Chains A and B, each alone.
Chain A
Amino acid sequence: DAKTTQPTSMDCAEGRAANLPCNHSTISGNEYVYWYRQIHSQGPQYIIHGLKNNETNEMASLIITEDRKSSTLILPHATLRDTAVYYCIVNLYNQGGKLIFGQGTELSVKP
């Protein structure tokens, strides 16, 4: 599985967009990018995933560069409840769900 690199921590002002970067320079052609987050004392929560096109859902947008070596998760209007650790994971689509979680980015949304 391709390795991902994320900043250890980030701050964001409430109401502003939070842009969380992820590098995955060794990603292969059939590997997807997944994002999960974990709010303190809860289990991780799936956010979004994509292969090469940009994706958007009710929670976030995922921007994947053309060479697929990096991606950015965007929370358009961050709230205090978005404070969490965000994990970027690269994995095969049909690997049966075996996910490898790295250290993630600790996002602090401040008033």
Chain B
Amino acid sequence: DVKVTQSSRYLVKRTGEKVFLECVQDMDHENMFWYRQDPGLGLRLIYFSYDVKMKEKGDIPEGYSVSREKKERFSLILESASTNQTSMYLCASSGSLHNEQFFGPGTRLTVL
């Protein structure tokens, strides 16, 4: 079975801190994604990557950056965390073209 793991289930940071959210998949998938999920707004795509060192902006990239140095790992970076980035962050991967994405368990980030 595909496994997508995220570094933390819960994270509390302070405003202005640099935050790293890590995601690892074990199925050699080419595509990886970062979403955030907020009540009433559903899942929104932040960034995605089709291959190592490649990245594409999603619908809400402002305030975020990403890194994909290895195929299995996709990191989401909050350069200077703000309270409006308090959210559930979900990582996903996909190896085929038919859009079956496999999601991690999520990281609930609170920025104080």
Q: Which residues of A contact B (CB under 8 A)?
A: 32, 34, 41-46, 49, 91, 93-104
The B interface, classified by DSSP as helix, strand, loop or mixed, is strand
Is the pair A104, B50 in contact by a Cβ cutoff of 8 Å? no
Whether the Cβ atoms of A101 and B42 lie closer than 8 Å is: yes
Q: Tell me the smallest distance from the CB of B102 to a CB of chain A, in Å.
A: 7
Q: Which residues of B contact A (CB under 8 A)?
A: 4, 31, 33, 35, 42-43, 45, 48, 50, 58, 90, 92, 94, 97-106
Pairwise interchain contact B103-A43, C-beta atoms closer than 8 A = yes
Residue of B nearest to A49 (CB): B98
* CB closest residue in chain B, given A91: B99
State the main secondary structure of chain A at its contact with B.
Answer: loop
A32 and B90: CB pair below 8 A? no
The answer to whether B99 touches A43, judged by C-beta atoms less than 8 angstroms apart, is: no
Min CB gap A93→B, angstroms: 6
Q: Which one of B99, B100, B104 has the highest number of Cβ atoms from chain A below 10 Å of its Cβ?
A: B99
